Amino acid sequence: MRETESKKLIGRGVREGASLFRDWFQGLTATAETGNRAAYVFVMGSMTEILRVFDLPVVFPEINSLQTAVRHVSADFLNEAEDYGYSPDVCGYVKADVAVQLREGKHPMGRIPKPGIAVITNACNTYLKWAEIWKRMYEMPLFTLDIPGTRETGTRTWPGDEQFEREKKYVQVQLEELIALCEKVSGKKFDIDRLREVLGHANVMSRDWKRMLELNQSRPSLFNALTDGTVFLGVSNVFRGTYEGAQFFDNLLEELEYMSVNGIGTLTDEKYRLCFLGVPCYPIFRRFNELFTEWGGAFVTSTYLWFAAGGSNLGIQYDLENPLESLAEGTLITVRDAMDSMFRPELSMAEIADDFSIDGFVYHPIKSCRTVSTGLADNRRALMESLNIPSLFIESDMMDQRAVSEAQMKSRIDAFFEGLAFRQAREAVENT
Ligand code: SF4
């Protein structure tokens, strides 16, 4: 491949992802401006596979909220919601969204339509209280999909197990209820062949997402799991089940495979391979990452690309001959997996450490999100007991600049890398 072609290929995924995102916001703005409504969903169990069959525009309020932080305007939105009566303790995503609603959908990237239906799962308890706010504001139908989680460590059940089959039926009946509700809201009849088409695109995306994560086991790593990964994650959620989404991930794999074959990494000098646990620090998104890359630290994987991808990491393939039952099965497995990844991330740490040759784990618990953050200190203790790998624990927030102290973070991060450097030097001496 000539140099100019190579330049075009490397970084294409991030450029195309950003462009798709702008298109998506333009589409939402057009919907809002014509007074039409949308389906509000969350990333863990979005059920976009069903909503697309009815051509319902889909809004991801979590993504809208984080965009206000990335664009450095979240403080205005949080203050507005707090002035309205929401406590500083409430999840920042909720408050930014409340402010968007109070502003009649005005958002830094366009205009967000009002909800005509909201579909939520029990993956996060905040989802339920958040959706109740819309219900009070707009009196639209709210559908809660109840997904049975893992009862105890090691007791996950799988297709063929009696309990799994019972739970799958429980999910399938709920999906049928959701379909009936979507028919009512959209005025359209359910079309099973359209569902097959959507699931076909979702299959491509899940397969590619899994492969994308695996490819970053390369040394040097091919993409930054924190920055580039968040762009890919956005496309994975927002364009799930679409032709554009499938095309995007096919293209992305082409780029990553090319980089892998040619030994091209995301950093020119990758010294430390890191795994990120938690939710990114969106108020200083780029700078947070630089505090690590300046030391040659590369985030090669993260739990965020796991739980916030709604289970795509498993590469689940729907059976198009049996779409509804297969969707129920896939939903049960993937939402359950997303819940496990938040509550018990240490279950996979040993595997991740090995597969990705991890030099250090970076924990980032945040004030806003108790669902993800509450158990991280215990997770770290479990990790330290089982693996001899250094870890860093830094607290801040994903939305609230008031809880982010860059200077304090920097001194902790610098000390972490000094420790890693000392460790590597000592190991080098021991191995000579
Ligand atoms: S509490 Fe955490 S998982 Fe729940 S909505 Fe807020 S950010 Fe998302």
43 touches ligand 1 (CB under 6 Å)? no
- In this prediction the pTM is 0.94
399 touches ligand 1 (CB under 6 Å)? no
- The residue whose CA is least distant from atom 8 of ligand 1 is 369
- 319 C-alpha vs ligand 1 centroid, how far in Å? 31
Predicted confidence at residue 308, as pLDDT, reads 84
Predicted confidence at residue 73, as pLDDT, reads 97
320-333 b/e with 16+ CB inside 10 Å = b? eeebbbbbbbbbbb
How far is residue 39's CA from residue 395's CA, in Å, rounded to a whole number? 33
Predicted confidence at residue 337, as pLDDT, reads 85
- Beta strand segments in 97-239, E: 106-107, 110-111, 115-121, 142-145
Q: Is 8 helix (H, G, I), strand (E, B) or coil?
A: helix
How far is residue 249's CA from residue 3's CA, in Å, rounded to a whole number? 23
Predicted confidence at residue 2, as pLDDT, reads 66
Predicted confidence at residue 5, as pLDDT, reads 73
Among the atoms of ligand 1, which is closest to the Cα of residue 92? 6
CA 358 vs. chain centroid, Å, equals 21
- 90 C-alpha vs ligand 1 centroid, how far in Å? 10
Q: What is the 3-state secondary structure (H, E, C) of 187-199?
A: CCCCCHHHHHHHH
Among the atoms of ligand 1, which is closest to the Cα of residue 279? 7
Written as tens digits, the pLDDT of the chain (432 aa) is 667 778 789 999 999 999 999 999 999 999 999 999 999 999 999 999 999 999 999 999 999 999 999 999 999 999 999 999 999 999 999 999 999 999 999 999 999 999 999 999 999 999 999 999 999 999 999 999 999 988 766 567 888 889 999 999 999 999 999 999 999 999 999 999 999 999 999 999 999 999 999 999 999 999 999 999 999 999 999 999 999 999 999 999 999 999 999 999 999 999 999 999 999 999 999 999 999 999 999 999 998 898 788 777 888 999 999 999 999 999 999 998 888 877 776 667 888 999 999 999 999 999 888 888 888 898 899 888 989 999 999 999 999 999 999 999 999 999 999 999 999 999 889 888
